[in-house]
Chains A and B, each alone.
Chain A
Amino acid sequence: MAELRAYAALLGGQWRSMMAYRASFVVEMITNIGGTALDVLAVLVIFRATPTIAGFTLPEAVLMVSLSSCAFNLADFVVGNIDRLTSYVRTGMLDTVLIRPLGALGQLVFMDLPLRKALRLALAVVVLVVALGLNDIDWTPARVTLAFVVPVAGAVFFAAIFVLSASLAFWWVDSGQLGNAFTYGGRDFTSYPVPVYAGWFRAVFAYGLGFAFVSYQPALALLGRADPLGLPGWTGYVSPLVALAVAGIAALVWRSGIRHYRSTGS
C-alpha cells in the first residue's frame, strides 16, 4: 500500500514536470491520436482494392486490427517509454533509479508514463467497440468474457515484448532501435489476419513468438469461425496463458539484465 503511494508520488512528479511544458503536452496529445487512426485507415485502404483479405471481410479485419490496436496502445501507454532504458543505461542514469527503495521497472514506468498517449488509447477502445458491433457475433458468456480479457492479455503480451526488447540494452548498450522490430513490428503483424503471411516468417512471428494469439486467434473465436490454417477452436481462448508465459520470460530477463548493469565511469 505504502509502495503504491510511492509510485503515485512518482506519477504526480511526472505530471507536474509535464505541466511545466503545457503547450507541448497538448500538441503531442492531439497528434498522437493520429497513430491509432492511421492503423485502422491502412486496413480500410486495402479493402478499397479487394473485397476480402485471405478470406476475411472488412468488418472481420477491422475487428482484428482493433483488438491489436487496443492491446498495443494499452501496453504502449503503460510501458512504451521503457525504451528510454537504453539512454538510462548508456548515461548511467539508472544509478539514481537503483538507489531508491522501489523496483526499477516500476520506477521507470511511473517516471515516464506517457500521459499524452491517453487520447490515443481512448480512441482505440472506441474503435474496438464499433468493430464488435459491426460483426454479427453470437454472444455467449464465454465470448463476452473473451472480449474483455483479450485486449488486456494482448497488452500484457506487448508489454512483455517492450520490456524484453528494452532489456537488450543491459547486454548491448547500442541496441538502439533493434527492439522496435518486435514491438512496432509486432503491432503491424497483428493488425492483419495471419494467413496473409507465409513460410518461415509466419511460423516464427505468429507461433514462435506468439503474435497470433494477440488478435487473430481470439478474433476467430469471437466470430465463431474455423481457422483456415487448421488450429483447433480452443486456441482462441489461450491468449492470457501465452501472455503470462511471455511476461514470465520478460521478468526473468529483466532481473538478469539489472544484474548485468555496468553503470558508467564517474
Chain B
Amino acid sequence: MTVIRMDGLRKDFTVRVRAGRLRRTKRTVAAVDGIDLRIERGEMVGYIGPNGAGKSTTLKMLTGVLTPSAGTVSVCGLTPVPQRTRLALRIGVVFGQRSQLWWDLPLRESFSLLRHIYRVPAQEHAARLRRCVGLLDLDGFLDTPVRQLSLGQRMRGDLTAALLHGPEVLFLDEPTIGLDVVSKQAVRSFLAELGATGDVTLVLTTHDLADIERLCRRLVVIDHGRVVHDGTIEALHTRYGSRRRLVVDLDAPLPSGFTVDGATLVSLEADGHRASFDLLSDEAGPVVARLAALSSLRDLSLVEPDIEDVVARLYAS
C-alpha cells in the first residue's frame, strides 16, 4: 500500500536581494524542484542531501506545514494542507531543532497534555507510554521540567511525544542532530525496533549517514531540490563507482610505473613498500596473485567503500 505519494512536487520561495542602496530585486528560488516519489507502508526511508537541498521543505510539505507551489502530494490518502488536522492525528513528526514539549512542565505532563490534544484513549496512551519509557529509558527524568533536560533526554522525550497517538507514518527531521554517541545509539536502536514491526512507515532526514546505514534499506538523495538517487546504499555505490580498496605491504618496493589489470594504483608510500589500489571489479584474487608474484606480501587489507565519501562526491558533482 502506498502511504506517501508526491508528483511533480515543487516549492518556490521568493527572496529579495539587495541591489544598490535602496532597490531590491525579487528572485524566485526553487527549494524543491519537481519531486516524484512513492513510499510504501512499512518502509524506512532515509532522506539525505546537503544543507539547503530541500529536505526539510519536502518534509514540511508532507506534514501540512508548507503549501506546495505546484504538484500534488498525498499522505495516508489525505492532502496535507487542506486536511492538516485530520492528517495530524495519523502522523508523528519530530523536528530535531524544535521541541513540541512544554518548556516549563515536567515531561510527564507534556505527555498527558498530548493525550488530550490527540484524543487518545487513556489505556492505549498508557500502554504506548510504558513501551517508550522502557525502550528509551525515560524513567529517570519523567518528572523533570523540560527546560532542565539535556539535549539527548529532550530528544527522547520528543520521540515519545510523536508516538503516543500511534501514528502510521513517522517523519523525523534530523533526529540525531547534536546528540552524543550514547544517545544516538539509543535513538537508533529505538527506531530500528519500531521499524521492525512493519506497521510504521518512517521517513527521516539526517546528515549522519550512520543513521541511514543502521536503519534504512532505502536511500533518497536530493540535491538542489531534485532526487539524484533513489535506491539501496549498495546501488549508490555501484552507480557512483565506489571501489573497494586494496592495501598491500610488500617486502620489496614496487617498481615505478607498475600497472596491473583489474586495479588502479592510487598511492605509494613508505618508499614503495606500501601500495594502495582501487579494485575495478569484485574480484581481488587476480590482483593479489600478481602482486604476490612480484614480491612476498607482508600484510594485506581490503577497505570497504565509505558511504560518506560517495555522498560527498555526489554533492560535489
Query: Do B100 and A262 have beta carbons less than 8 Å apart?
Result: no
B173 within 8 A of A: yes
Q: What are 30 contact pairs spanning A and B, CB under 8 A? A: A5-B119, A6-B119, A9-B113, A9-B116, A10-B113, A16-B109, A20-B104, A20-B105, A20-B145, A93-B98, A95-B60, A95-B65, A95-B95, A96-B95, A98-B84, A99-B63, A99-B64, A99-B91, A99-B93, A100-B85, A101-B85, A101-B89, A102-B85, A259-B67, A260-B67, A261-B66, A262-B66, A266-B95, A266-B97, A266-B173
> B117-157 interface mask toward A, CB cutoff 8 Å, 1 = contact, 0 = none?
11100000000000000000000000001000000000000
A45 within 8 A of B: no
Q: How far is the CB of B77 from chain A (nearest CB, A)?
A: 16
* Chain A contacts for B65, CB-based, 8 A: 94-95, 98-99, 261, 263
A230 within 8 A of B: no
Q: How far is the CB of A101 from chain B (nearest CB, A)?
A: 4
Query: Do A99 and B116 have beta carbons less than 8 Å apart?
Result: no
B102 within 8 A of A: yes
* Chain B contacts for A16, CB-based, 8 A: 104-105, 109
Residue of A95, A96, A261 most packed against chain B (CB within 10 A)? A95
Other than the given A96-B95, A96-B99, 12 more pairs (CB < 8 A) read A9-B117, A21-B104, A93-B98, A95-B65, A95-B98, A99-B100, A101-B118, A102-B88, A263-B57, A263-B66, A266-B56, A266-B174
Q: For the complex, what is the distance from the CA of A262 to the CA of B16, rounded to whole Å?
A: 14
Partner of A265, one of B52, B84, B118: B52
Query: Do B98 and A266 have beta carbons less than 8 Å apart?
Result: yes
Query: Do B117 and A10 have beta carbons less than 8 Å apart?
Result: yes
Q: For the complex, what is the distance from the CA of A260 to the CA of B66, rounded to whole Å?
A: 8
Q: For the complex, what is the distance from the CA of A59 to the CA of B236, rounded to whole Å?
A: 82
Report the interface size class on chain A.
Answer: 20 to 34
Q: How far is the CB of A116 from chain B (nearest CB, A)?
A: 15
Interface size on B, residues (CB 8 A): 39
Query: Do A13 and B109 have beta carbons less than 8 Å apart?
Result: yes
Partner of A96, one of B98, B116, B174: B98
Q: For the complex, what is the distance from the CA of A101 to the CA of B64, rounded to whole Å?
A: 11
Known contacts A95-B98, A103-B85; A13 and B56 CB within 8 A of each other = no
- Residues in B136-188 with C-beta less than 8 Å from chain A: 145, 173-174
Query: Do B105 and A101 have beta carbons less than 8 Å apart?
Result: no
Q: Which 4 A-B pairs have the closest CB atoms?
A: A9-B116, A101-B88, A17-B104, A96-B100
A8 within 8 A of B: yes
Residues of chain B whose beta carbon lies under 8 Å from any beta carbon of chain A: 13, 52, 56-57, 60, 63-67, 81, 84-86, 88-89, 91, 93, 95-100, 102-105, 109-110, 113, 115-119, 145, 173-174
Q: For the complex, what is the distance from the CA of A99 to the CA of B13, rounded to whole Å?
A: 21
Known contacts A13-B105, A98-B64, A266-B173; A259 and B95 CB within 8 A of each other = no
> A239-266 interface mask toward B, CB cutoff 8 Å, 1 = contact, 0 = none?
0000000000000000000011111011
Query: Do B13 and A262 have beta carbons less than 8 Å apart?
Result: yes
* Chain B contacts for A266, CB-based, 8 A: 56, 95-98, 173-174
Q: For the complex, what is the distance from the CA of A266 to the CA of B63, rounded to whole Å?
A: 15
Q: How far is the CB of B294 from chain A (nearest CB, A)?
A: 55
Q: How far is the CB of B269 from chain A (nearest CB, A)?
A: 43
Q: Return the chain B residue nearest A16 by Cβ.
A: B105
Query: Do A102 and B117 have beta carbons less than 8 Å apart?
Result: yes
Q: How far is the CB of B208 from chain A (nearest CB, A)?
A: 15
A133 within 8 A of B: no
Q: Return the chain A residue nearest B174 by Cβ.
A: A266
Known contacts A101-B86, A262-B66; A13 and B102 CB within 8 A of each other = yes
